[in-house]
Each structure stands twice: as C-alpha cells, then as structure tokens.
Amino acid sequence: MATLLRDSTVTSLTCIPHHPRGVWCNDSAEGLYGTLSLNQTQEQSRRERNLINDLSPLDVGRTVLVRARLASSRYQGKLAFLVVRQRIHTLQVCIAVGEGATSKKMVQWVSEIPPESVILVEGTIRAVKNLKTVTVREVELVAGKVFLVARAAVTLPFSLADASRAESDYDQDNVQYNRVLFETRLNNRVLDLRTTTNQAIFTMQSAVTHLFSGFLQRKNFMEIHSPKLQAGASESGSSVFKVNYFKHNLGDAFLAQSPQLAKQMCIAADFERVYEIGPVFRAENSFTHRHLTEFMGLDLEMVIEEHYDEVISLLDDTLKEVFRGLKESYRAEIDTVGRQFPAEEFKWQEPTVRLTFKEAIELLVADGVDYSQLDDIDTTNEKRLGRIVRNKYETDFFIIDKFPIHLRPFYTMPDPNDPALSNSFDFFMRGEEILSGAQRIHDPTLLVEQMETKGIDVSSMQSYVDAFKLGCPPHGGGGIGLERVLMIYLQLNDIRRASLFPRDPKRLTP
C-alpha cells in the first residue's frame, strides 16, 4: 500500500524535508498526508516555517507551514478540527473533505493521529470570529497537507487537558474530571512540562536569572563559577552529600552547600563584586513544600566601603528589578500560570519595609504569639508575620535586619554595639524567607575565634581562613533561592513546580 515518493518535484513543491510514507491508494489526496520517514537530515528546502502566535487577520489568504504539537482533534463526518500547540500558544486547524484535493481518507487519517504527536501542516489562513478554546482567536488554518513528524504513544500517562485544569474546575457541579496526582506528573515530567502553565513557569524561571544577572552586570558585578566539589566539611558541617573521589589521599569530597567560601575568597582576591548562578546541594532529609536537595542559588558578594547597608540596598534593588521585570515583560506568562494557579498580584513598596528582628518579634507578640516561643521565628510565625506586615504596610516584600548572632553562621559579622546581635538580614516574600545575607567577618583573628566558639574545625577550611590573612576588605553578600522566588511570586504552593526536574530525598528521576 505505502508508496514512497521519490519524485523530487513533488518533494520540492510540498517542501517536505523527506518523503512521507503514504497511506493513500486510489486517493485524490495522495502525497498530501502521511507519516514522514525518520528525519536523518535527508534534504533541506530552507522554506520558512511559521510560528502560530505570529498569525493574525493580516495573514488571511496566505499559505503557511506550521510544525506543532497536536493538542486535540474532533472528527465530524467530513470535517476534522484540530487544536495545535506551540509552547503557550494554540491554533485551530480545520480540514474538510473536498476542500482542494482533500479526501475522506485523508480527513479520517488526520483525525486518528494520536494527541501529543508532532505534525507538519500546510494550509491557508482564514478569518474566524473570536474562538474561545485557543489563544489565536481571529484566524484558523485550513489544512491542505498534514504530515506526521513524530508519533506519540496512543496511551499517555495523563491528558494535557487534565494536567492543565485549575483546582476550581473540580468544584463545578455535574462535572467529573480526572485529577492528575502530583507524583504522576513528576514521574512523567516531560509530558507535564508541556502544559501551557509549565511552559510559562520555565520561561519566567529563565527570566528571573536574566533580570538578576543583567542588573548586577550593570552594577559592575562579575560572574564567577566556583567548584561544587569540595574537600572536607562545608560551611555548616552538616547536611552535605559525600562524593567518592578517586583513591588518592585527598579523602572524600563533598558537594558545596553554597558558594559561600568561594565567593568570599574571590573578594579576598580583589574581584570586588561577584555573583554566581549555580546549583547548591542540601542533604536535608525533609519533605516540605519549600525544600529541595538540589536547587539554583543566586549568590552575590561585594566589598563594603563603609556600611553593610550598601549590601542590603543592592540586594533590595536587585529583587525589585526582578519583580518589576516580571510584571512588565511577562504578563502573558503570569496570566497563563494564573489560570491554573490563581495568585494575588505580588505587591511591594518604595522604600522596602524594613524591620529589625526585635521589631518583628514585637509585631508577633502584639498579634498574640507567646514571647517565650520567639527565640527564633519559625516558618509558622514567618507566615503570620507576613500577614501582619501585609495588613499594616500593604506589601508582600520586606526585610528583617539585625538577627541575634547565635542564629547565624560563624562567618557573620557581630554588631559593633551589641555583641548579641549581628549585621545580618533575611528578605521575605509573602511571609517566606527567600534570601539570607550579612556582613561577613574579614578579620582572620575574629573569624577563628567565632569558628572555635561555634565548634567548627578550623583545619577543615584552612584555605578559607588563610585567604583573610592575605588582607581582605570588609564585605558582605547574600544568597537567593531561584525556585523559591518563583514559587512564591506565582503562588505555586510547592517548590517542585518551580524546578525543571526536582530532586528531594525520595526523587532522583527523571
């Protein structure tokens, strides 16, 4: 039955890069549809292919060529309607028996292509009125040729429609939808990532890092790449992953929990202002909505001329640049995600609301929290504080400064006036910590003193300590969790939704 077309004229007319394996036989539509043979780079027509989001009423009557994912199809006797998808954009494709050379066999064949297959469609653009179920609403594509580029399995772990539904859809009367379990999604992450929601989330993830690095480059920061393989203990001494590192006398290696030591050494090496965007690893055996064992750290470190407020201001400006950039340039993505995960618009104030740790505690006490439970602010009280601050200041973004020194890492600079406090701060979004930072100790004597006080073995990080003996200017910095910022900004409620292929203590695949 299958006729392999070897006629180069036909190929160049149809502008198909390689020959379709036809299913036609006594068929007026012969050569206009079929499964393309595997693309191993047989030929190249260089014919332009169209992006569906570019199509508009201006294109009516034009012939276009579109490669897209088949989202769904409906077959109605002599007519089939397809919805095709490119990332967050969808287009209606219509194919009718008798339109041009289109045959009944062809329409039937097209309507039997499994959803989620990749197809190549050639046709003309026709005006339509305000379609409801696709994003390209004013035009549709009337197909004259349809080829299958890559077939999807007939049975999928779940349908994209089910994976894209908002929680509120399930509340409607008289409708039974399949609920796709979160585990099922993550087990089949490639399929899950095709939802318009996920396409938008990861476009925005990419945007956050570009807004971050673009702003810092304009502020004369240099990007660094520090090693993730480290000898000996890491800065906290706990929760590190051990790596088998050859059989020399180096001992084991560990995965860096942050670029903290490296970025401070870069300051001692006169780099002045550095940032790093890289993975950080935490061997914490905890299952919460906001912990991953591997996530992306956005870290920076800078010389302080006089006051660590220089660091706070810089970080504050950086984050507001990110918020502003997302709001101004990613409206379509925010709205796309919002259809599945409704979120309140993220709010911030100028200047950013800033409390001392003491003031934060006072707000919680005034709100009814027992003072004796407030040695630290736990995640429950963080959330509560977020609500208090939002009511009082109408902001989802605020800073807490001047943390007690016993709550902070050994390298934190003590407050000059009160030895119980430190020059350290956290930034919060909607009542969740997204950034931790501080002025660091740049004096080797004080550093060793603090390490000994906290019971840290100085010899385990000798090169770090030695760096300060070479003379290091005053400096400070902070670290931001990329996935956390994105999760909270978009109110995704689980950090795994903001991670491409999330890792937690029970998940190492896909």
Catalytic residue annotation: 282, 284, 290-291, 433, 436, 484
Measured from the CB atom, the residue of 166 and 229 that comes closer to its own copies is: 229
Residues in contact with 394: Cβ distance below 8 Å, sequence separation at least 6, in sequence order: 347, 349
Measured from the CB atom, the residue of 58 and 250 that comes closer to its own copies is: 250
Give the Å distances, CA to CA, from 508 to 201, 414, 503.
21, 40, 6
> Per the structure block, which two tokens stand in for 148?
């299958």
Where in 61-90 is the site for its own copies (CB under 8 A)? 67, 69, 85-87
Where in 20-39 is the site for its own copies (CB under 8 A)? 38-39
- Contact pick of 24, 33, 212, 308 for its own copies (by CB under 8 A): 308
Q: Using CA atoms, how far apart are residues 309 and 247, in angstroms rounded to an integer?
A: 47
Q: Is 420 in the site for its own copies (CB under 8 A)?
A: no
> Per the structure block, which two tokens stand in for 465?
């300590």
Measured from the CB atom, the residue of 43 and 344 that comes closer to its own copies is: 43
Cα angle vertex 94, ends 92, 97, to 5°? 170
Query: How many residues interact with its own copies (rule CB under 8 A)?
Result: 119
- Contact pick of 55, 143, 304, 487 for its own copies (by CB under 8 A): 304
The binding track of 318-357 with respect to its own copies, each residue x by CB under 8 A or -, is ----------------------------------------
Q: Using CA atoms, how far apart are residues 389 and 363, in angstroms rounded to an integer?
A: 9
> Per the structure block, which two tokens stand in for 353?
């609301």
Q: Is 431 in the site for its own copies (CB under 8 A)?
A: no
Q: Is 58 in the site for its own copies (CB under 8 A)?
A: no
H, E, C per residue of 286-304: CCCCCCCCEEEEEEEEEEC
Using alpha carbons only, how large is the chain's radius of gyration in Å? 29
Where in 455-494 is the site for its own copies (CB under 8 A)? 462-464, 466-467, 469-474, 482
Helix axes 379-393, 357-366, angle to 10 degrees: 90
Measured from the CB atom, the residue of 72 and 188 that comes closer to its own copies is: 188
Give the Å distances, CA to CA, from 466 to 187, 194, 393.
46, 50, 45
The binding track of 231-270 with respect to its own copies, each residue x by CB under 8 A or -, is xx--------xxxxxx-x-x--x-x------x--xx-xxx
DSSP 8-state class, residue 414: B
Q: In whole angstroms, how close is the CB of 45 to its own copies at the nearest point?
A: 6
Q: Using CA atoms, how far apart are residues 115 and 119, in angstroms rounded to an integer?
A: 10
- Contact pick of 12, 25, 49, 168 for its own copies (by CB under 8 A): 49
SS3 264: helix
- Contact pick of 55, 80, 139, 191 for its own copies (by CB under 8 A): 191
- Contact pick of 2, 4, 229, 458 for its own copies (by CB under 8 A): 229
By CB under 8 A, which span of 129-137, 192-200, 342-350, 484-492 interacts with its own copies?
192-200
Measured from the CB atom, the residue of 164 and 230 that comes closer to its own copies is: 230
> Per the structure block, which two tokens stand in for 371?
């003072």
Q: Is the peptide bond before 416 cis (omega within 30 degrees of 0)?
A: no
Q: In whole angstroms, how close is the CB of 202 to its own copies at the nearest point?
A: 7
SS3 45: coil
- Contact pick of 5, 11, 17, 141 for its own copies (by CB under 8 A): 17
Where in 118-137 is the site for its own copies (CB under 8 A)? 118
By CB under 8 A, which span of 132-140, 280-288, 346-354, 484-492 interacts with its own copies?
280-288
SS3 250: coil
- Contact pick of 1, 9, 26, 40 for its own copies (by CB under 8 A): 40
SS3 356: strand
Q: Is 6 in the site for its own copies (CB under 8 A)?
A: no
Where in 126-185 is the site for its own copies (CB under 8 A)? 149-153, 156
By CB under 8 A, which span of 202-210, 322-330, 346-354, 451-459 interacts with its own copies?
202-210
Measured from the CB atom, the residue of 265 and 314 that comes closer to its own copies is: 265
Characterize the bridge pairing of strands 294-303 and 353-356: unpaired
Dump strand ranges (E) for 115-178: 118-127, 139-150
DSSP 8-state class, residue 24: -
Measured from the CB atom, the residue of 277 and 334 that comes closer to its own copies is: 277
Q: Is 424 in the site for its own copies (CB under 8 A)?
A: no
Q: Using CA atoms, how far apart are residues 342 and 259, in angstroms rounded to an integer?
A: 35
By CB under 8 A, which span of 104-112, 193-201, 320-328, 343-351 interacts with its own copies?
193-201
Where in 363-392 is the site for its own copies (CB under 8 A)? none
H, E, C per residue of 421-471: EECEEEEEECCEEEEEEEEECCCHHHHHHHHHHCCCCHHHHHHHHHHHHCC
Q: Using CA atoms, how far apart are residues 366 and 361, in angstroms rounded to an integer?
A: 9
Dump strand ranges (E) for 13-61: 20-21, 33-36
Question: Which residue's structure tokens are 């965007």?
Answer: 277
Q: In whole angstroms, how close is the CB of 499 to its own copies at the nearest point?
A: 8
Measured from the CB atom, the residue of 385 and 498 that comes closer to its own copies is: 498
Measured from the CB atom, the residue of 40 and 391 that comes closer to its own copies is: 40
Q: In whole angstroms, how close is the CB of 378 to its own copies at the nearest point?
A: 24
